[in-house]
Chain A
Amino acid sequence: MQKLSYFICLLAWSITSFATDLTENFIKGTPKISSMSQLAFGPQGILFIGDSKSATLFAIALDDKTAPAKKTVLKIADLEGKIAAMLGAKKSDVMVHDVAVNPLSKNIYLAVSRGRAKGDSYWKLPNDLDDATILIRIKNGKEFEEVSLNNIKYSQVTIPNPIDKKKKNWRGKFRPDVITDIAYANGQVYVSGLSNEEFASTFRKIPFPFSNRVNSSSIEIYHAAHGQYETKSPIRTFLPYNLNGKPHILAAYLCTPLVTIPEDQLKNGQHVKGRTIAELGMGNMPLDMVVYKKEGKDYILMANTTRNAMKFSIEDIANTKVNLTTKTKVPFASEGVKYISFPRLLQQLANYDDKNLLVVMRMPNGSLVMGLQPIKWL
């Protein structure tokens, strides 16, 4: 019975979501995007672009819904070199900020900037260095082209109360962290980042299609490596996921706590406490997370700045009783939910199809490689 009602719900949801054109209330024009901080795809090939600088979330209707005719071979040995050639720049000046795969066309979208020299960040993360203003599409695994945002169909919503442009600490300015990650699920866009409140770490739920409604909750977690409760540091990467049948947000933080937050607690104006289920070691920034299915079970792959990629079993996360509230005993050690270290320095992750993940990784020779990681080898 439960299963049946689940199917009915799914059916009803799929009818409504496919029958109605979600771009109905979109306007035609040129969106004023100042920094493409984060990219994510929603339904109907809609691309969400999070813009930290202008504190705006954009939804772009891309005319890119045709499924690929044949299987694409994707192996780009020198991604930065290719983009540099396109922008007439030096390879060392090119920066890839985020990568997303259009689930319909399998075309790859990249937010890119030129000019790394302006960077003022300790962590030297893409967001901090320069504003990504170029949207690039890779077609058929090798054809690079710029996606023009002139005179397109789009919709936008303002992120309320973003962290002030002037605020900074010894690591640099906070403003690039207004939007640290975005994801679409359950008819809404989830946005993590910093607000201008005292408890700056904020998680926002924005119903899509956009009205003016944005639900913001401040988030508090126990940071075991630091031995304290924290509200200032933003979520770096997250995934909406159903744990034991209930929607949750799985979130990873700088230095490196892994936290679960029940989705239903995230209500406008609420202060929400996450449960720290793992401490993955200091001196590291989580970059990206994807969930993939292998032999009927779900796993999470997480990319890091200064540690190998980490593989978690969802089963372990769902069943864990861990709730870290004491300081990590050994510096740089990990505690809590176990992971398997996957020996790759991945910089970007995206779901490609049910057999492959899209990965962007830094090779020992310094070049940035984009390719497909077969799930069967994970």
Chain B
Amino acid sequence: MATVVNTIIAKKLLMKNLFLFLFVLLPQVLMAQQPPVIWLETNHQKADYGVLKVKNLPEQLLTALRQKKPLAQDWKKLFPVYTGGKKPTDIDQPSIIGDYFITQTLLCFKPRFFWVNDLHYYCELRLLELASFVQQNYLFSHPSLSYRFEINAPSSPVTSVTKVYPSASALPANLLRMYVYFSAPMRQGQAKKFVKIRDANGAEVPHVFVPIKEELWNHNRTRLTLFFDPGRIKRGLRPHHESGTPLNPGQVYTLEIDKNWQDAQGRELKASFQKRFTTTQADRTQPNPKKWALQLPKGNSKKPLVINALHTIDHALVLRYLYISNAEGQEVKGKWSTANTEKEIRFTPAQQWLSGKYTLHIDTRLEDLAGNSVHRLFDVDTQHTQTLANTAATLTINFEVF
């Protein structure tokens, strides 16, 4: 009987103690054991972005500090923040000036000037001195706590060269333009340094591009136009006689884009880019839209209109110099693209094709890779050669969708 009573009492005691332990003692132990933590607020959205914060300091300590109001000269002994990323070796190195303040639960430091991107920082929270400053005794597991930090560590590269036009691997020796597409906006004024043409031996071919200080970029700096020196391409001009053509036929060349080129964010490219190409004889023929073969889409479809141009067309000018109108004369909205090494031009409509008559308008300034336009040849001996006489500003081709 006695044992039964004893067990009941023991159980009751255990329950009571368990209750005490779980709800009274344990939280206190846990609270007391949480060591102070220093961190930098790195969330750009927050108003206190860039503030250095300390949490888990005993509440009495914070209250005492709030009452005692340490001055700047006190704070730099209690919680100094340094440049250099480690404990300074020079004992006279001044700590960073700024505001120290205490919020509800945090000790904070806001530098007088915002942190600098590629500097490393180091701070030291001297816990023992902090406690003795307010004449209190706390048991900290360490006499001080240090923290290294930096702002905006350089992010890993994400930008790359996505495409280069012309896409063919055999290009005419009198090539006039190349287009380099990037996946993100690039830093301007760097092309000369980072874009090179190399010959078969890997040597840089000098002065192939026209030096244009501003560089030829699209509006958001994702497409760069490389412009081969036309003065050297055109026969009969002085630069041509003095320096010859930039590229010679029957050679192997490599267009090289160095990975050290930084994008607009200051990140290097993911990788260097190379395009190897061979050169053929100079192209001295004009694109002739009258010979273009149209592959017509069906009505009520979004299939592209495919134009076989038989001749490699300048990629960027396709986007600018062609448009299609319907029977009412309104422009058909859609997207122009090139395929099959720019011998094929495609137009994909935004809306489905409706059955009816359409007109393809070709601005005669449309050029091939060597700058020969529908209107005229780029480089022609006018005394001995006759050119196609396309004096009209626009050529049209009518077609019908069924």
Contact = CB atoms under 8 A, between A and B. Distances in A.
B119 A82 contact: no
Contacts of B111: 88
Interface stretch (A98-106, A139-147, A169-177): A139-147
Interface in A73-100: 82-90, 93
Contacts of A83: 94
A2 B94 CA distance: 53
A86 B92 contact: no
A145 B73 contact: yes
A88 B92 contact: no
Majority-rule SS of A interface residues: mixed
B29 to A, nearest CB: 39
A231 B121 CA distance: 50
Interface string A88-130: 1110010000000000000000000010000000000000000
Contact of A88 (B73, B88, B96): B96
B116 interface: yes
Nearest to B82: A85
Given A82-B94, A146-B97, A87 B113 contact: yes
A85 B88 CA distance: 10
Given A145-B72, A145-B73, A146-B72, A88 B94 contact: no
B96 A85 contact: yes
A85 B94 contact: yes
Interface string B97-122: 11000000000000111011001010
Contact of B121 (A82, A88, A90, A143): A88
Contacts of B96: 85-88
B113 A88 contact: yes
Nearest to A146: B97
B189 to A, nearest CB: 16
A365 B76 CA distance: 31
A148 B112 CA distance: 12
Interface size, B (range) = 20 to 34
Given A84-B83, A85-B83, A88-B83, A142 B92 contact: yes
Nearest to B83: A85
A85 B113 contact: no
B112 A87 contact: yes
Contact of B93 (A82, A134, A146, A148): A82
Interface in A38-52: none
B93 A88 contact: no
Contacts of B81: 88
Contacts of A148: 72
Contacts of B222: none
Nearest to B88: A85
A349 B224 CA distance: 53
Contacts of A86: 94-97
A134 B113 CA distance: 11
A229 B129 CA distance: 66
A142 B90 CA distance: 12
A343 to B, nearest CB: 29
B72 A88 contact: no
- Chain B CB within 10 A, most for which of A85, A88, A93, A142: A88
A89 B94 contact: no
B84 interface: yes
- Chain B CB within 10 A, most for which of A83, A84, A86, A93: A86
A76 to B, nearest CB: 9
Given A85-B84, A145-B73, A90 B116 contact: yes
B363 to A, nearest CB: 45
A88 B84 contact: no
Given A142-B92, A146-B72, A89 B116 contact: yes
B207 to A, nearest CB: 32
B87 to A, nearest CB: 13
Contacts of A82: 92-94
B82 A146 contact: no
A89 B113 contact: yes
Contacts of B115: 88
Contacts of A144: 94
A93 B118 CA distance: 13
B41 to A, nearest CB: 16
Contacts of B119: 88-90
Nearest to A93: B116
A133 to B, nearest CB: 10
A93 B115 CA distance: 13
Contacts of A143: 92
Interface in B44-93: 72-73, 81-84, 88, 92-93
A93 B121 CA distance: 17
A3 B282 CA distance: 100
B91 to A, nearest CB: 10
Interface string A229-269: 00000000000000000000000000000000000000000
Contacts of B94: 82-83, 85-86, 144-145
Contacts of A114: 113
A286 B275 CA distance: 57
Contacts of B116: 88-90, 93
Interface of A: 82-90, 93, 114, 134, 142-146, 148
Given A88-B115, A90-B119, 19 more contacts: A82-B93, A85-B82, A85-B94, A85-B96, A86-B94, A86-B96, A87-B96, A88-B81, A88-B98, A88-B111, A88-B113, A88-B116, A88-B119, A89-B83, A89-B116, A89-B119, A143-B92, A144-B94, A145-B72
10 contacts: A85-B95, A85-B96, A87-B96, A87-B97, A88-B97, A88-B116, A88-B121, A89-B119, A114-B113, A148-B72
Q: Which 9 A-B pairs have the closest CB atoms?
A: A86-B94, A88-B96, A144-B94, A146-B97, A142-B92, A88-B111, A85-B93, A85-B83, A85-B94
